[in-house]
Amino acid sequence: MKFVDEAFITVQSGKGGNGCIGFRREKYIPRGGPDGGDGGDGGDIILVATTQKNTLYEFRHRRHIKAENGGDGKGSLKHGRNGKNLIIHLPVGTVVAHAETNEIICDLTEPNQEYVIATGGKGGLGNKHFATSTNQAPRFAQKGKEGETLAIKLELKLIADVGIIGLPNAGKSTLLKMLTAAQPKVADYPFTTLYPYVGVVYPEHAQPFSIADLPGLIEDAHKGAGLGIQFLKHIERTRILLHLIDISAIDPLDPLNSYELIVHELDAYNPALLQKQQLIVLNKLDILDAESNASVFIDHMKTTQVISISALTGIGIDELKTKLSGLVNEST
Ligand SMILES: Nc1nc2c(ncn2[C@@H]2O[C@H](COP(=O)(O)OP(=O)(O)OP(=O)(O)O)[C@@H](O)[C@H]2O)c(=O)[nH]1
Ligand SMILES: [Mg+2]
């Protein structure tokens, strides 16, 4: 299904049913008392976070969502039926805000998290409730209350422990496939990945953690170049950045330049991104000359926080898993 990470919808809870004006009419009871039943309550609109969805695509076509109205009360004290609550399943990571003011209403960060966004109108009371000593046959009942109508903006900001970033073709999707059961498309042309994928890594002796494959970044991504900025926001909610670099270049200085380009893009979009824990991973170590390029890179960077792998053949993957799992646990 197509990836959509923003949608505007209107939600409307159900109206309460009206209370009934009724009187008992039985054979030997000439003037029966009031017996109008109460109206049922209108249904609520409830948002529920689910891991089963990763797009807001359906809301392109589902713009107005309404819960059921409550039924009217009936004679013989029959209570109107309550309107059914309407549950809207949203992907984990959806931020819900007022459409006009952008004021945040709730942030669905946990699976199964619930939020009642519009409460159904109360049902009206039947005339039975209004009988008094002076008015034993009240000819009025309460009307049901209107439901609430709210225009909201849904914005999906993926949540993952680790986000894989890098230039197009660095091998990000290949790495996600190697580490998890996710099946993103892999191909030897740039911009194969058009939207983020999230997979779960199950290390042998540690807690599982989630990892997101993000579309490739290029120069001026922060200004909208390539797939650009629309995906940079998904990096905001990953705790650790895995910066993947193709080390198989002919010019050993290329990987360094590509590293700096990406760092510059992150900084230009939001400097806070650079405060995140970052792990540099050099990919395509199986290709000729990659190893010597890797040494050049490591010398220049003067850091040991670098892991060399081949996402294709599996070189270094176990070491990477252990390293990531350690970083994830440290940061919780
Ligand atoms: N030899 C070799 N090729 C690799 C390796 N990892 C990825 N590739 C190849 O590099 C090409 C790009 O891989 P992808 O995984 O699609 O790259 P990506 O970073 O997801 O690319 P975009 O989605 O376009 O940003 C594919 O042809 C892969 O088969 C590796 O470790 N070794
Ligand atoms: Mg890809």
Tell me which of 131, 156, 181 is where a domain ends. 156
Tell me which of 114, 138, 156 is where a domain ends. 156
129 and 96 co-located in one domain = yes
Cβ(317) – ligand 1 distance below 6 Å: no
Mutational test site, ligand 1, from 174, 261, 283, 315, max ligand atoms within 8 Å of CB: 174
150 and 212 co-located in one domain = no
CA Rg value for the chain = 29
46 and 176 co-located in one domain = no
CATH number at residue 52: 2.70.210.12
Structural domain contains residue 1:
no
Structural domain contains residue 118:
yes
Cβ(229) – ligand 1 distance below 6 Å: no
Domain boundaries, position 43: 6-156
pLDDT of residue 1: 56
Structural domain contains residue 98:
yes
21 and 135 co-located in one domain = yes
Cβ(174) – ligand 1 distance below 6 Å: yes
Q: Considering only CA atoms, which of 321, 4, 312, 296 is closest in space to residue 172? A: 312
* Counted domains in the chain: 2
Q: What is the DSSP secondary structure assignment for residue 130, as one 8-state letter?
A: G
pLDDT of residue 305: 76
State the distance from the centre of ligand 1 to the C-alpha of 68, rounded, in angstroms. Answer: 50
79 and 226 co-located in one domain = no
- Name the pTM for this structure: 0.74
Structural domain contains residue 83:
yes
Cβ(258) – ligand 1 distance below 6 Å: no
Tell me which of 156, 176, 204 is where a domain ends. 156
Cβ(14) – ligand 1 distance below 6 Å: no
130 and 55 co-located in one domain = yes
pLDDT of residue 286: 94
79 and 59 co-located in one domain = yes
152 and 166 co-located in one domain = no
pLDDT of residue 220: 76
Q: What is the pLDDT of residues 11-33, one digit of tens each?
A: 999 999 999 999 887 766 666 78
Q: What is the pLDDT of residues 149-190, one digit of tens each?
A: 999 999 998 888 999 999 889 999 999 999 998 787 787 877
146 and 219 co-located in one domain = no
Across-strand partners of 115?
47
Residue with the smallest CA separation from ligand 1 atom 13 is 171
pLDDT of residue 304: 62
Q: Name residues of the chain where pLDDT drops below 70.
A: 1-2, 27-31, 224-225, 227-229, 304, 332
27 and 117 co-located in one domain = yes
CATH number at residue 240: 3.40.50.300
What are the CA-CA distances from residue 50 to residues 3, 86, 112, 113, 225 (Å)? 16, 15, 6, 8, 32
126 and 177 co-located in one domain = no
Residue at token pair 């000439």: 30
State the distance from the centre of ligand 2 to the C-alpha of 57, rounded, in angstroms. Answer: 21
Cβ(216) – ligand 1 distance below 6 Å: yes
Structural domain contains residue 106:
yes
How far is Cα 129 from Cα 35, in angstroms, rounded to an integer? 9
pLDDT of residue 229: 67
102 and 74 co-located in one domain = yes
At 85 the three-state DSSP class reads: coil
